[in-house]
Structure 1
Amino acid sequence: MNRWQELTGGTSGDEYAARFAALARSGKDVHGEARFCSALVPVGARVLDAGCGTGRVAIRLAELGYDCVGIDLDASMLDVARAQAPELTWVRTDLAAFDPALLGIAADFDLVVAAGNVFPLLAAGTEAAVTARLAAALRLGGLLVAGFGLDAAHLPVPPGLTVEQYDGYCAAAGLTRVGRFATWDGDAYEGGGYAVSVHRAGT
């Protein structure tokens, strides 16, 4: 069981979707992650939304012309994603055991995105394994993009993962950091409580 399941019991899909729908109705931009990713790879690129939740990021990227697959362990979140976009591929799997070949998914993604505090909400001790498995799903030169909180103000759980640790996991998986930002709008990272990191495979 990962930290997200411990927090929610794996039954929060409808509630989570409703919260973002309300934010959208209020005029808040809820597509920063998709916009950020779309600036990194061309339209038509294959994108894996790892820890996709209700599919907000993948669905928006698909609307923009990307070939998207979403994976998550929370069945209630995937139920919402499938209802909203049944034409997309949604797969229930533990990121720590993610094996594209076993799931019939080609491991040649141009970009893998892990938004929404995916890494801090993993089961403790699986961060390195998840990084390696997501890296293995990338084509040579593909990008892993992860945004997550680093302090209590940006996390629903006690802070644990640092950017230095994450960089180490990425390096061990054959990834090189090519960018780090403070927000999904691309603001410069200067050591704050949230970071969006971009790493490239095979360089």
Structure 2
Amino acid sequence: MTLPPTRWELAGERNRAYAESFATRVADGSDIDGEARLADAMAPRGARILDVGSGMGRVAAALAARGHDVVATEPDAALREQSRATYPDLEVLSHQALDIPELPGFDLVLLIGNVLIYLGQDTERDVLAHLRSLLAPGGRVLAGFHLHGTRNGSRVYPADEFVADVEAAGLRVDSRFGSYELHPPNDEYAVWVLSAAAAEQA
């Protein structure tokens, strides 16, 4: 199966500042665990968690350190290399979101750090439906992205369009926040908690 290129892939070297920024923050001892704290609070102890587009591995590593069974996937070879250098105990698969194999059910699937606005063009519903199929009964999705895009090839993904895609993929929106610290919704950034629609849970 030939997968369409992601927007991240098409942007190429223009996105290297992301990795450099987080490498600097790790070296400085900055707090980079905000998303992981929320994910940890949402999950049962020892949960099975899938981190899609795990980047340099910071969230997946933090959750593994908290005792969760974490599967990290990152198609960008340079980010996988950075992840191995920063978190050598964290295994990272090379799958794109649409290519993640049918692994055992996940209690929580993460789409953190603008992953959704860097997917391949017109693949959003397919990705959401595929990730829904990987959820364990009662499993949830935690996603976050800038509603107006960022730069370097990302798309603009309005909230109403995202909700329509979520519902078409057999998911539902349980909650929307303005940050991973659960601030009220705003027009800039959205954090979403999703679960399988009622028919999918039956």
Q: Which residue of 2 aligns with 1:182?
A: 178
1:89-142 deviation per Cα after TM superposition (whole angstroms, max 9, x unaligned): 3211121233x23xxx32x10000011110111111111111111111111210
Unaligned runs of 5+ in 2: none
Identity %: 35
TM-score (norm 2): 0.86
CA RMSD, aligned part only?
A: 2.2
Shift, 1:82, TM fit: 2.9
Q: Which residue of 1 aligns with 2:110?
A: 113
CA–CA distance in 2 between the matches of 1:73 and 1:112?
16
- The correspondence of residues 1-80 of structure 1 with structure 2, limited to 5 A, is 1-9=5-13, 12=16, 16-26=18-28, 28-80=30-82
CA–CA distance in 1 between the matches of 2:179 and 2:151?
15
Do the aligned partners of residues 122 and 137 (structure 1) sit closer, same or farther apart at CA in structure 2, a change above 3 Å counting? same
Shift, 1:27, TM fit: 5.5
Unaligned runs of 5+ in 1: none
CA–CA distance in 2 between the matches of 1:134 and 1:10?
28
Q: Which residue of 2 aligns with 1:193?
A: 188
TM-score (norm 1): 0.85
Answer yes or no: is the 8 Å Cα contact 1:72–1:93 preserved in 2.
yes
- The correspondence of residues 50-199 of structure 1 with structure 2, limited to 5 A, is 50-98=52-100, 100-101=101-102, 105-106=103-104, 108-152=105-149, 154-157=150-153, 159-189=155-185, 191-199=186-194
Shift, 1:17, TM fit: 3.8
CA–CA distance in 2 between the matches of 1:45 and 1:28?
26
Shift, 1:144, TM fit: 0.7
Task: Figure out how many residues of one structure are paired with residues of the other and give that number.
Answer: 194
1:22-58 deviation per Cα after TM superposition (whole angstroms, max 9, x unaligned): 2245464211110111111122101100011111110
Answer yes or no: is the 8 Å Cα contact 1:183–1:195 preserved in 2.
yes
